[in-house]
Amino acid sequence: MMIRTVKISPFPDQKPGTSGLRKKVPVFQTPGYTEAFIQSIFDSLDGFKGETLVIGGDGRYYNRHVIQTAIRMAAANGFGRVLVGQGGILSTPAASHLIRKSGAFGGLILSASHNPGGPTEDFGIKYNTSSGGPAPEKITDAIFARTGEIDRYLIAEIDDVDLDQTGTFEAGGMVIEVIDPVADYADLMETLFDFDAMRAMIAGGFKVTFDAMHAVTGPYAKEILVRRLGVNPELIYNATPLEDFGGHHPDPNLVHAKALFDWMMADDAPDFGAASDGDGDRNLIIGKGVFVTPSDSLAMLAANAHLAPGYKDGLKGIARSMPTSGAADRVAEKLGVEMHETPTGWKFFGNLLDAGRCTICGEESAGTGSDHVREKDGLWAVLLWLNILAVRKQSMIDIVHDHWASYGRTYYSRHDYEAIEIDRANQLIQALESGLSDLAGRQVASLTIERADSFTYHDPVDGSVSHNQGLRIFFEGGSRLVFRLSGTGTSGATLRVYMERHEPDPSRHDQETQAALAPVIEAAETLAEIRKRTGREAPTVIT
């Protein structure tokens, strides 16, 4: 086998963010750029000679090209075997499962998740470890350090692999297996959920619709929802993965999945509607006439998980990212299990899951998952909801109202200001942060500030500490405001403002969310001067 050593100079901007390195496609197309990052990953790892590497992506533009490059580089660097999803496709949770099941050393997941795709849109690369989860900060820091000094990459001269045929062959001294990306994952779902009960519910007329947003979950939805559960195929939308997601953002929120939302609120709505994102790890859950916020969905799934066979023995604990609402905390308290609050990003859940300290975790950004893999999992959340509905034999709206009646309702919203100038965003955060210690006791917008801080996470498993994970302002009465800058964007900065208010009184559970949060929203503006500092009159996206 011919291995070439290609000389390169470091690229200064290869710092992994919340979930790997995300840049515009033309940046990844800069000669040597993609290779420099992949080589920096390999150079930061020890002991993978002869081991297995999983490679897959969300099918976006440039996916196939980078997969070929990654295969050649894996061979040149000494991996013994690569597993690649057919067509270059693997949803993020399916990749996590495959890494675990095959005993792989790790995996490369090629995705920019919910960001748009195409020749001038976004691409991303991230590394997952043998546990199946995103590399922890210790490793991503090492990768970034390596990108700063890298001077060569190794690549084997092998022909392009035919990604469209499953099969096993040898090239470049390495075994290459192109595998069905769906089968193992679908089988895993059958071990967790009562497919008979769900099939019976659907056969009995319960209508389910799913929007795959022209992204990776189409083939998974067809196999699991249609073929194994009997959902009407006409109710599965945008099920063919496209390199540009049909020109849309594959982001299952109320802006980009508005058509689904509108239908779910109409008289002829199906019983249950859902959508997933570019790489299949997020979920949007809407019942007929009722939208379930991701924070509420986490709480409701945790409260009912024991109704599914995979969780019949109950939960070891629950974990949520800090900006996620406290709705799940109330469930953990009632169940008498541990509750953990981590920084944003799935990589922080890995240690807790590995140590058996939690079973279910979730984020306000529409990510929910469990210890079955080490990534959030969109279809898993859909199936857990369907399993709960099949057992409880109630409508979504009744289950949601029941939950609020028992635990109170936590009104929740996130306001995003996208692509603002980086300097302006940093100044806003700095100004707020420098005044944090003086805020306690201050009155703002009819609320009284109880305390404020910058969130620091102490990992209870390995003792690592992560600073600067978001600014928190707590008000008397339990409302909360959080500010942080996104770590997944590719143009400018994105300011995220998270607001919540708990309402125990059932007679006040039917307010419009933005109205219910009005004082907290006003406090955000007063404290951070968002309009003046960003130059924006209103958020880009409200979820």
Instruction: Please give the residue ranges that form the binding site for ligand VG1 (CB under 6 A).
Output: 18-19, 113-114, 277, 281-282, 321, 344-346, 363, 365, 367, 486-488, 496
Least separation in angstroms between CB 367 and ligand VG1: 6
Q: How far apart are CA 439 and CA 268, in angstroms?
A: 49
- Alpha helix (H) residue ranges in 228-343: 258-264, 294-304, 327-335
Closest separation between CB of residue 487 and ligand VG1, Å? 4
The owner of tokens 């920096």 is 40
**Only segment of 208-216, 280-288, 481-489, 527-535 that touches Co ion (CB under 5 A):** 280-288
Q: What's the min distance (Å) between Cβ of 202 and ligand VG1?
A: 27
Select from ligand VG1, Co ion, none the partner in contact with residue 371, using the beta carbon and a kind-dependent cut-off of 5 to 8 Å: none
CB 20 within 8 A of CB 347: no
Q: Toward Co ion, which CB reaches closer, 251 or 371?
A: 251
Residue 296 interacts with Co ion (CB under 5 A)? no
Closest to Co ion by CB, 90 vs 527, is: 90
Instruction: Tell me which of Co ion, ligand VG1, none is bound by residue 345, counting a contact when its beta carbon lies within the kind-specific cut-off of 5 to 8 angstroms.
Output: ligand VG1
Q: How far is CA 147 from CA 142, 416, 496, in A?
A: 9, 30, 28
Of 223 and 277, nearer to Co ion (C-beta) is: 277
| Contact residue for Co ion among 86, 113, 410, 534 (CB under 5 A) | 113
| Burial (CB count <10 Å: 0-12, 13-18, 19+), residue 318 | buried
> What is the Rg, in whole angstroms, of the alpha carbon atoms belonging to the chain?
23
Output the smallest distance, CB 1 to ligand VG1, in A. 35
Tokens coding 386? 């369907």
Q: How many helices (H) and strands (E) does the chain have?
A: 18, 27
Tokens linked to 436: 């944090």
Q: Give the distance from CA 429 to its chain's centroid.
A: 24
- Which of Co ion, ligand VG1, none lies near 365, with the C-beta cut-off 5 to 8 A by kind? ligand VG1
Binding residue for Co ion (CB under 5 A) from 281, 329, 363, 416?
Answer: 281
Of Co ion, ligand VG1, none, which one sits near residue 122, judging by CB under 5 to 8 A according to partner kind? none
CB 228 within 8 A of CB 195: yes
- Which positions ≥6 away from 85 have C-beta within 8 Å? 55, 56, 57, 94, 95, 178, 179, 181
Q: Which is nearer to Co ion, 223 or 279 (CB)?
A: 279
Query: 113 catalytic, yes or no?
Result: yes
Binding segment for Co ion among 107-115, 207-215, 329-337, 349-357 (CB under 5 A)?
A: 107-115
Which residues on neighbouring strands pair with residue 81, listed in sequence order?
Answer: 52, 175
* Residue 368 near which of ligand VG1, Co ion, none (CB within 5-8 Å, type-dependent): none
Phi/psi at 410 (nearest 5 deg)?
-100, 105
- The active-site residue out of 19, 91, 111, 113 is 113
Q: Least distance from C-beta 17 to ligand VG1, angstroms?
A: 6
Q: How far is the CB of 452 from Co ion (least distance, A)?
A: 31
Per the DSSP assignment, residues forming a β-bridge with 54 are 83, 107
Choose between 320 and 330: whose C-beta lies nearer to ligand VG1.
320
Please check whether residue 57 is in contact with residue 69, taking contact to mean a CB–CB distance below 8 angstroms: no
- Please tell me whether residue 251 binds Co ion under the rule CB under 5 A: no
Tell the smallest beta-carbon distance from residue 66 to Co ion (Å).
17
| DSSP run (H or E) holding 11 | none
- The Cα 510–Cα 506 span in angstroms is 8
279 binds Co ion (CB under 5 A): yes
The binder of 121, among Co ion, ligand VG1, none, by C-beta within 5 to 8 A per type, is none
Give the nearest residue (CB) to ligand VG1: 113
Q: Give φ, ψ of 18 to 5 degrees.
A: -55, -35
Chain positions contacting Co ion, by CB under 5 A: 113, 277, 279, 281-282
Query: Active-site positions?
Result: 113
